[in-house]
């Protein structure tokens, strides 16, 4: 038989690698920003058009590349970061695999302009689908500018896989925030379709967090700092009273690289033990520094997962550090054995050796009621006089002749429909509603059933008719980060159609003067947090699917919770509303709202 195994051509291998490295425009943004940081840039500009589908351009003032380096940077496994296999275990840079630029060039039009500080002229290279179209000399500032145009131009299937511009732009913002939060000393400019999204000056860590997420977050932060032989921890966690119902602003950075790690996340949550309301999550911005040879960051193409050498020790240190900081800033109780004794009393008393004891004089015969009783116009009656007031009452009062001004309670007052309804429905474990039908019985999950009712109700109001609002006596202001504010502006018309009335939307807050009738004012903040998170996770790419996501989220947030006691009338109303729905069998998320047991099935339980 003839040989069947052959080496793939470079352009095919590059496209395969691109499938790992470049999943969407945000992947290109991440790789280019990291390269600019590795080049020692102090100012980086990001330009986006059509959510990165038309253009992703990163301009930096780093050290630039020589003519040879500019050409080699687009070859597979070409990198300046490592020389030997041992270097993989001592990495202090971001891009090191040498596949990013080669993979990007395989599926896009790439234009590079670069110049080193000691050169008079720079290099200009154009590449289309891994093929170099042009290379010449150009006058350009020191640093590098890489423009990636028409992403996935030669892979239509991958291009069609991309979501709507709003969704792709949201992913780009997430990647940009992660890089910007890691390097507060670097100035960043972010433009989308020629409009400025964010302008970040060089600053410290706290100032950078405030610049990205809004000034209101400053009061929520508790500083974290710890230094040991195996790890250094710094950053911030939010105070428990500012915890959110959904995970949002939670960031781990290890050696200036954003990571996701459920084990370390659990350590932080554990430090908040008994400080958070049920179902709430704290925000945190934690920066961990560990020796590079104790971690492996090459276990995932996106490099967001890291393997630690000693996870158990890191878990214990991180948990105790967060817990100590919460106590130190009077957020949680703590025993401080290293307190300064001079802080226990005012400074003016710290040098005094003795304090005189005040003298207390007590008159044991003092009666506070004696003078008062004499000044009154009446005197305290003697015991015999009090007893005389009740003499003869045994026979003087006939209880049958006493008239009471009250409604006469008839026996049929309690024969309302309550007992009649109880014959039809029964609440089981404050979770299910049991109802008898001709063929047997039906169990209805009250939470899932109410979700279906509210979902169809909201969807109708958003697509067919508007709903009325309850006006607030005082405007309600709620704060969010800039990403959530941007999302709120997108869905504002849909929220108004279900009853929310917006007074104004600022850079970091929303002011409402009206909310839907069935919404509690105290729950609005959490409701919006859940709504924004649900929309991000649903990733809708059409106007209707976005409406659908909003209706689903509101229905889930406002539905009757399991554990809520319902009276018989409420049970009956819920059943009537459920079976009036177009699709009563399933909740908005595809779960069964009820199950039925026939008489035969029940009898089989006894026969077996």
User: Are residues 216 and 182 part of one domain?
Assistant: no
User: Are residues 573 and 446 part of one domain?
Assistant: yes
What's the pLDDT at 115? 93
What's the pLDDT at 362? 75
**Which of 200, 222, 247 corresponds to the end of one domain?**
200
pLDDT tier for residue 591 given thresholds of 50, 70 and 90: confident
Nearest to 109 by CA among 88, 92, 90, 126: 126
To 10 degrees, the CA torsion angle through 337, 341, 345, 347?
Answer: -140
Distance CA 452, CA 577 (A): 9
CB count within 10 Å of CB 5 equals 4
Q: Is there a domain that residue 359 lies in?
A: no
User: Are residues 245 and 120 part of one domain?
Assistant: no
Distance CA 107, CA 606 (A): 67
pLDDT tier for residue 332 given thresholds of 50, 70 and 90: low
Domain count, the chain: 3
Q: Is the pLDDT of residue 61 over 50?
A: yes
CB count within 10 Å of CB 536 equals 19
pLDDT tier for residue 544 given thresholds of 50, 70 and 90: low
**Segment among 128-132, 212-216, 297-301 with least mean pLDDT:** 297-301
45 or 497: whose pLDDT is higher? Answer: 45
Domain CATH for 441: 3.30.1370.100
DSSP 103: H
Nearest to 222 by CA among 334, 339, 343, 323: 323
pLDDT tens across 429-480, in order? 888 888 888 888 888 999 999 999 988 888 887 776 656 778 888 888 888 8
Distance CA 56, CA 22 (A): 13
High-pLDDT (> 70) share of the chain, %: 75
What's the pLDDT at 75? 79
C-beta of residue 514 within 8 angstroms of C-beta of residue 469:
yes
pLDDT tens across 241-290, in order? 888 877 778 999 998 888 888 888 999 998 988 788 777 889 999 999 99
Q: At what angle do helices 524-538 and 543-558 cross, to 10 degrees?
A: 140
Q: Per DSSP, what are the bridge partners of residue 60?
A: 44, 144
* CB within 8 Å of 174: residues ≥ 6 apart: 26, 483
* CB within 8 Å of 554: residues ≥ 6 apart: 454, 458, 498, 527, 531
Nearest to 74 by CA among 25, 18, 29, 6: 18
And the tokens for 441? Answer: 């019985």
pLDDT tens across 89-103, in order? 555 555 544 567 888
Q: Per DSSP, what are the bridge partners of residue 237?
A: 222, 284
User: Are residues 37 and 154 part of one domain?
Assistant: yes
What's the pLDDT at 539? 54
Q: Is the pLDDT of residue 390 over 60?
A: no
Domain CATH for 249: 3.30.230.10
What's the pLDDT at 419? 40
pLDDT tens across 96-153, in order? 445 678 888 888 999 999 999 999 999 999 998 888 889 999 999 999 999 999 998 8
Q: Is the pLDDT of residue 326 over 80?
A: yes
The residue segments making up the domain with residue 27 are 10-200
Which of 91-105, 523-537, 556-570 is the most confident on average? 556-570
**Which of 306, 328, 350 corresponds to the end of one domain?**
328
Mean pLDDT, the chain, as a whole number?
79
And the tokens for 182? Answer: 């890691």
Q: Is there a domain that residue 462 lies in?
A: yes
Q: Which helix (H) or strand (E) holds 115?
A: strand 109-115
516 or 97: whose pLDDT is higher? Answer: 516
Query: Does the reported pTM lie above 0.85?
Result: no
* CB within 8 Å of 502: residues ≥ 6 apart: 492, 495, 496, 510, 511, 512, 513
Q: Is there a domain that residue 95 lies in?
A: yes
Q: Per DSSP, what are the bridge partners of residue 36?
A: none
What's the pLDDT at 25? 92
Mean of pLDDT values over 48-69: 92
Q: Is there a domain that residue 417 lies in?
A: no
What's the pLDDT at 96? 43
Q: Is there a domain that residue 183 lies in?
A: yes
User: Are residues 216 and 148 part of one domain?
Assistant: no
Q: Is the pLDDT of residue 333 over 80?
A: no
Domain CATH for 60: 3.30.565.10
What's the pLDDT at 564? 87
And the tokens for 337? Answer: 């054995």
pLDDT tens across 198-211, in order? 999 999 999 999 99
**Which of 182, 200, 218 corresponds to the end of one domain?**
200
Mean of pLDDT values over 61-70: 90
User: Are residues 443 and 590 part of one domain?
Assistant: yes
Q: Per DSSP, what are the bridge partners of residue 110?
A: 127, 148
Distance CA 259, CA 468 (A): 45
Q: Exposure of 163 by Cβ count < 10 A (0-12 exposed, 13-18 middle, 19+ buried)?
A: middle
Q: Is the pLDDT of residue 407 over 80?
A: no
Q: Which helix (H) or strand (E) holds 33?
A: helix 25-38
User: Are residues 224 and 256 part of one domain?
Assistant: yes
User: Are residues 228 and 176 part of one domain?
Assistant: no
High-pLDDT (> 90) share of the chain, %: 24
User: Are residues 134 and 256 part of one domain?
Assistant: no
User: Are residues 249 and 115 part of one domain?
Assistant: no
Q: Is there a domain that residue 419 lies in?
A: no
What's the pLDDT at 410? 45
Q: Is there a domain that residue 334 lies in?
A: no
526-to-42, 280, 519 alpha-carbon distances in Å: 39, 9, 11
Q: Is the pLDDT of residue 516 over 80?
A: yes
What's the pLDDT at 112? 93
User: For 531-535, which contacts have Cβ atoms below 8 Å and span 24 or more sequence positions?
Assistant: 531/557, 532/246, 532/248, 532/480, 532/484, 532/487, 532/488, 533/246, 533/247, 533/248, 535/487, 535/491
Q: Is the pLDDT of residue 44 over 90?
A: yes
Q: Is there a domain that residue 387 lies in?
A: no
DSSP 527-541: HHHHHHHHHHHH---
DSSP 417-481: HHHHHHTTEEEETTTEEEEEETTEEEEEEHHHHHHHHHHHHHHHHHHT----EEEEEEEEEEE--
Distance CA 434, CA 566 (A): 12
273 or 25: whose pLDDT is higher? Answer: 25
Nearest to 325 by CA among 234, 261, 262, 209: 234
C-beta of residue 410 within 8 angstroms of C-beta of residue 550:
no
**Segment among 198-212, 507-521, 527-541 with least mean pLDDT:** 527-541
pLDDT tier for residue 417 given thresholds of 50, 70 and 90: very low
344 or 489: whose pLDDT is higher? Answer: 489
User: Are residues 584 and 538 part of one domain?
Assistant: yes
Residue with structure tokens 């008994």? 274
User: Are residues 115 and 17 part of one domain?
Assistant: yes
């Amino acid at each position: 038989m003839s040989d069947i195994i052959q080496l793939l051509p470079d352009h095919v291998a590059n496209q395969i690698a691109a499938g790992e490295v470049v999943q969407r425009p945000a992947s290109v943004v991440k790789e280019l920003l990291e390269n600019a940081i590795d080049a020692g840039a102090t100012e980086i500009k990001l330009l986006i058009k059509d959510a990165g589908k038309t253009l992703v351009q990163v301009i930096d003032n780093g050290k630039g590349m020589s003519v040879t380096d500019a050409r080699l940077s687009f070859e597979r496994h070409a990198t300046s970061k490592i020389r030997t296999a041992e270097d993989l275990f001592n990495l202090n840079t971001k891009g090191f695999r040498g596949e990013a630029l080669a993979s990007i060039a395989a599926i896009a039009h790439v234009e590079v302009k670069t110049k080193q500080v000691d050169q008079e002229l720079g290099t200009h290279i154009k590449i289309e689908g891994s093929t170099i179209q042009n290379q010449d000399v150009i006058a350009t500032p020191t640093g590098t500018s890489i423009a990636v145009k028409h992403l996935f131009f030669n892979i239509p299937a991958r291009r069609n896989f991309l979501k709507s511009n709003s969704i792709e732009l949201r992913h780009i913002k997430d990647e940009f925030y992660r890089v910007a939060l890691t390097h507060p000393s670097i100035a960043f400019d972010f433009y989308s379709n020629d409009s400025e999204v964010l302008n970040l000056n060089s600053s410290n860590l706290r100032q950078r967090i405030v610049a990205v997420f809004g000034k209101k977050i400053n009061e929520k932060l508790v500083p974290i700092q710890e230094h040991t032989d195996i790890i250094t921890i710094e950053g911030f966690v939010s105070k428990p009273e500012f915890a959110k119902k959904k995970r949002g602003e939670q960031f781990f950075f290890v050696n200036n690289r954003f990571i996701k790690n459920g084990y370390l996340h659990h350590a932080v949550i554990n430090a908040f033990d008994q400080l958070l309301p049920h179902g709430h999550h704290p925000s945190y911005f934690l920066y961990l520094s560990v020796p590079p040879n104790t971690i492996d960051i090459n276990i995932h193409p996106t490099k967001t997962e890291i393997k630690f050498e000693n996870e158990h020790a890191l878990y214990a240190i991180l948990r105790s550090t967060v817990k100590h900081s919460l106590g130190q800033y009077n957020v949680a109780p703590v025993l401080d054995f290293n307190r300064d004794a001079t802080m226990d009393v005012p400074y003016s008393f710290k040098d005094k050796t003795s304090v005189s004891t005040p003298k207390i004089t007590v008159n044991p015969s003092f009666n506070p009621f004696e003078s008062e009783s004499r000044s009154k116009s009446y005197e305290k009656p003697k015991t015999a006089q009090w007893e005389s007031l009740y003499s003869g009452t045994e026979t003087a009062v006939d209880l049958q002749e006493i008239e009471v001004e009250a409604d006469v309670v008839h026996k049929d007052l309690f024969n309302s429909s309550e007992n009649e309804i109880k014959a039809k429905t029964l609440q089981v474990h404050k979770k299910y509603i049991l109802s008898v039908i001709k063929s047997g019985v039906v169990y209805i999950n009250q939470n899932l059933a109410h979700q279906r009712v509210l979902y169809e109700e909201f969807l109708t109001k958003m697509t067919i008719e508007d709903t009325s609002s309850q006006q607030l006596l005082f405007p309600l202001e709620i704060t969010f980060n800039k990403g959530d504010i941007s999302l709120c502006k997108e869905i504002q018309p849909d929220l108004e159609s279900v009853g929310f009335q917006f007074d104004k939307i600022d850079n970091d807050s929303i002011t409402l003067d009206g909310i839907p009738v069935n919404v509690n004012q105290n729950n609005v903040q959490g409701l919006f947090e859940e709504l924004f998170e649900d929309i991000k996770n649903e990733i809708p790419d059409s106007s209707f699917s976005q409406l659908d996501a909003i209706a689903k989220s509101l229905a889930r947030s406002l539905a009757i919770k399991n554990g809520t006691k319902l009276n018989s009338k409420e049970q009956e109303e819920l059943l009537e509303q459920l079976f009036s729905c177009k699709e009563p069998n399933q909740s908005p998320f595809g779960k069964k709202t009820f199950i039925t047991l026939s008489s035969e099935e029940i009898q089989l339980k006894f026969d077996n």
